[in-house]
Amino acid sequence: MKTIYWSVDKNVDKEESYSQIQQAADLLKKNEVVAFPTETVYGLGGNAKEDSAITKIFAAKGRPSDNPLIIHIAKRAQLNELVEKVPATAEKLMDAFWPGPLTIIFEKKQGMLSEIATAGLSTVGIRMPDHAVALRIIEESGLPIAAPSANRSGKPSPTKASHVKEDLDSYIAGIVDGGPTGVGVESTVVDCTEETVVILRPGGITKQQLESVVGEVRMDQALINKEIKPKSPGMKYTHYAPNAPLFLVDGSKEKIQLLVEEEKQKGHKVGILTTLENKDYYQADFIYACGKRADLSTVATELYDGLRSFDHKEIDIIFGEMFPAEGVGQAIMNRLMKAASHQVIK
């Protein structure tokens, strides 16, 4: 398959961008799959009503079909067509954070969405992205759009169109390049089907932000105990991993440098995932600084690009610094632990 590549102004306020948006939307109407930017990561979009489109998403990603997909909408009116009811807590969260990096789990209306898209569950995760290109494509298609991250399953999520092309060129119908994404990690997923809101996946909206709107918010036990099966889309399998093994180091930068020296003596090419504050301290074959430790939002933005960068340097082993699991740091550490297969050196 030849993949069509469009470059679109991220604000889609230029007349010449419109035809490209329309072409992408037309492909979605024909049940083809198209990658497009959101404020979190690039999504791989398909018609959420049609099994044939959803099957193409799973095939392109190499993703197990028992993993439900998040549905993206452009207007609140679309929500009423897809869910049985909108709980009061969900209303408050939508008022506060939509459009934005927040996915809400609802009880779904039967017969309105592909059963493959929701993995046969009675619930569905829905969000409204805060990105002009994404909203315009969804609106022009007139469809709810299922859109997991636009990468091969298990690889780091894509925050640039070049990442999508690297993974999915010739696998999908089109890629809309709207520039780098902003938040850098996927949306927070919350379950609003029970009395207390439960975070199923940490992301761009923090627990503290949620609690400021709805009061008490609980963490899903699967986030604490990795033996428990996670409920959230995108959390069930290994994710975000670079080709080389990644080890997180719970210790000082001096300890990390000692580990580097030990591996270099074995003849290994060593990479380090660090921050701008510590970058100049290390001596290794490749060092990637993903933002500033003093501002973890910058680390989130750069994280996946950093994990991917090691694949281009033929690194044998990677050591990564750890971060405080507070605020957006919770999402960062969640992704790093999965990328490292929970391998932590104390």
Residue 228 has pLDDT above 80, yes or no: no
Q: Beta strand 197-201 with 217-219: parallel, antiparallel or unpaired? A: parallel
pLDDT band for position 316 (cuts 50, 70, 90): very high
pLDDT band for position 120 (cuts 50, 70, 90): very high
pLDDT band for position 231 (cuts 50, 70, 90): low
Q: In what order do the strands lie in the sheet with 197-201?
A: 4-7, 174-177, 34-36, 43-47, 145-146, 71-72, 123-127, 102-107, 188-191, 197-201, 217-219
Residue 237 has pLDDT above 60, yes or no: no
Tell me the CATH class for 246-345.
alpha beta
Average pLDDT over residues 162-189: 96
Residue 227 has pLDDT above 80, yes or no: no
- How confident is the model at residue 224, as a pLDDT? 75
Residue 239 has pLDDT above 60, yes or no: yes
- How confident is the model at residue 222, as a pLDDT? 81
Q: What is the pLDDT of residues 282-303, one digit of tens each?
A: 999 999 999 999 999 999 999 9
Cα–Cα distances in angstroms (integers) from residue 249 to residues 259, 272, 322, 342, in the given order: 9, 10, 6, 11
Q: Beta strand 34-36 with 43-47: parallel, antiparallel or unpaired? A: antiparallel
Percent of the chain with pLDDT over 90: 88
Domain residues of the chain, as ranges? Answer: 4-224, 246-345
pLDDT band for position 235 (cuts 50, 70, 90): low
Q: What is the pLDDT of residues 67-81, one digit of tens each?
A: 899 999 999 999 999
Note whether 246 and 345 are within 8 A (CB): no
Residue 150 has pLDDT above 90, yes or no: yes
Residue 295 and residue 116: Cα distance in Å, rounded? Answer: 39
Average pLDDT over residues 32-46: 98
On the question of a cis peptide bond just before residue 87, with omega within 30 degrees of 0, the verdict is no
pLDDT band for position 186 (cuts 50, 70, 90): very high
Backbone angles phi, psi at 200, to 5 degrees: -95, -25
Exposed/middle/buried for residue 307 (C-beta within 10 Å: 0-12, 13-18, 19+):
buried
- How confident is the model at residue 236, as a pLDDT? 53
Percent of the chain with pLDDT over 70: 95
- How confident is the model at residue 226, as a pLDDT? 63
Please, what is the average pLDDT of the chain? 94
- How confident is the model at residue 223, as a pLDDT? 84
Residue 88 and residue 248: Cα distance in Å, rounded? Answer: 40
- How confident is the model at residue 46, as a pLDDT? 98
Cα–Cα distances in angstroms (integers) from residue 61 to residues 3, 169, 181, 242, in the given order: 15, 11, 20, 16
Residue 213 has pLDDT above 90, yes or no: yes
- Element housing 288 (H / E): strand 286-289
- How confident is the model at residue 259, as a pLDDT? 98
Residue 282 and residue 49: Cα distance in Å, rounded? Answer: 51
- How confident is the model at residue 303, as a pLDDT? 97
Q: Does domain 4-224 sit in CATH 1.10.10.10?
A: no
Entry pTM: 0.93
| Cα Rg of the chain, angstroms | 20
- How confident is the model at residue 65, as a pLDDT? 78
Residue 162 has pLDDT above 80, yes or no: yes
- How confident is the model at residue 63, as a pLDDT? 79
pLDDT band for position 229 (cuts 50, 70, 90): low
Task: Look up tokens 């929701």; give the residue.
Answer: 118
- How confident is the model at residue 172, as a pLDDT? 98
Note whether 303 and 322 are within 8 A (CB): no
Residue 326 and residue 165: Cα distance in Å, rounded? Answer: 33
| CA 185 distance to own-chain centroid | 5
